[in-house]
Amino acid sequence: MASDALLAFEQVSVTFGRHGRSRRPVTALDHVSFAVTPGRSLGIIGDSGAGKSTLCRTAIGLVEPGEGRVIVDGSDLSGAPASAWQRARRHVALVFQDALGSFNPMRPVLDGIAMPLLSYADLGGAALRRAVGEVMEQVGLQPSQMTRYPHEFSGGQIQRLAIARALTTRPRLLILDEPVSALDVSIRAQILNLLIDLSRDLALTCVVISSDPAVVHYLTEETLVLFAGRVVEAAPTAALFARPRHPYTVALLAQRDPGIALHEQGLSGARAQTRLAVEMSGCRFAGICPRELPRCRDEAPEPTPLGEGRMVRCHSLAAEALAGETRKG
């Protein structure tokens, strides 16, 4: 695993106890590994329920993994006390999925933006306002608006405010959980372009979570595909979108192409399956997969390297890769 990683997960598993009607535990993350290195933003795609938000919360210490290691800036923080996580959150900031809900409706946005800063610095009065004004300018808002209340801002502006708050501690890594999914299509591009500008101007690396693959395609250098708590494919973003390999990734990306009706079916099946699949012992995509082999139902596929920094978990693709190597000699 890269030693200069800003954030790394090593075999991280998270299980929530006695969930839902079945009262059985849900494995929201199952042995998830990845590393984010400076300048190579990471996208995470997958349907609702795949474990994306759980991954975000685990990355900043709000959820404690049952197994594995979470490494922030080279320090293993698994099981670390709250104070260690508090220090780490200065460098790794999360913009939550519900931006509006993360601001107190009864307080001016100044208070909400300043919150992370107050845990590190004993700032007050003019210095605090200066710091808040600075991050508001960075996200394209007028500092004079800091005394307004959340309801006085549009959806796009609220998202900008949430990003401003994350920037107050000058993090090196910004995790964005569904940064544009609540926004009108016309506003989305503005926020995506803001994120591109911020990454460049502030030397920020991002982890971008989205159920819309196009967002990840636009913003990131590396992509993970999460299905029912497992990483089924990992690859450089350009390569993954040019040629998705895992049958689930193929279905997920094909939803933008109305010509591929067969894949659409696969995808709706995948969505229905996500909730059940966490209890399956074999490949979680078994039963709806067009490439299924007999062993897929009982045996979880291990990661298979495909070259050029790509990895896939699929018995069928592993067999194909092996056959290719055998042919080569």
Beta-carbon count within 10 A of 87 CB: 16
> In this complex, which beta carbon is closest to ligand ADP, that of residue 20 or of residue 307?
20
| Partner whose footprint covers residue 116, from ligand ADP, Mg ion, none (CB < 5 to 8 Å by kind) | none
| Partner whose footprint covers residue 301, from ligand ADP, Mg ion, none (CB < 5 to 8 Å by kind) | none
Q: Which of residues 48-77 bind Mg ion (CB under 5 A)?
A: 52-53
Cα–Cα dist 140/198, whole Å = 11
Residue whose entry in the numeric block shows the structure tokens 């220090």: 87
Judge whether 263 and 250 are in contact, CB under 8 Å: yes
Q: For residue 111, give both structure tokens.
A: 């208070």
Task: Please give the single-letter amino acid code of residue 306.
Answer: L
Asked if residue 28 binds ligand ADP (CB under 6 A), the reply is yes
Asked if residue 157 binds Mg ion (CB under 5 A), the reply is no
- In the complex, the smallest distance separating the C-beta of residue 296 from Mg ion, rounded to whole angstroms, is 27
| Partner whose footprint covers residue 28, from ligand ADP, Mg ion, none (CB < 5 to 8 Å by kind) | ligand ADP
- Of the candidate spans 44-52, 110-118, 127-135, 143-151, the one that interacts with ligand ADP by CB under 6 A turns out to be 44-52
Asked if residue 274 binds Mg ion (CB under 5 A), the reply is no
Asked if residue 271 binds ligand ADP (CB under 6 A), the reply is no
Q: Rule CB under 6 A: choose which of 5, 7, 8, 26 binds ligand ADP.
A: 26
Asked if residue 45 binds ligand ADP (CB under 6 A), the reply is no
Within 8 A by CB and 6+ apart from 233, the residues are: 224, 225, 240, 244, 245, 246, 248, 249, 310, 311, 312, 313
- Of the candidate spans 48-56, 100-108, 212-220, 294-302, the one that interacts with ligand ADP by CB under 6 A turns out to be 48-56
Q: Rule CB under 6 A: choose which of 9, 30, 41, 49 binds ligand ADP.
A: 49
Q: Rule CB under 6 A: choose which of 32, 50, 208, 296 binds ligand ADP.
A: 50
Residue 52: which of 238, 250, 278, 207 has the closest Cα?
Answer: 207
- In the complex, the smallest distance separating the C-beta of residue 282 from Mg ion, rounded to whole angstroms, is 25
The binding track of 279-318 with respect to ligand ADP, each residue x by CB under 6 A or -, is ----------------------------------------
> In this complex, which beta carbon is closest to ligand ADP, that of residue 145 or of residue 211?
211
Residues making contact with Mg ion (CB under 5 A)? 52-53
Residues making contact with ligand ADP (CB under 6 A)? 16, 19, 26, 28, 46, 48-54
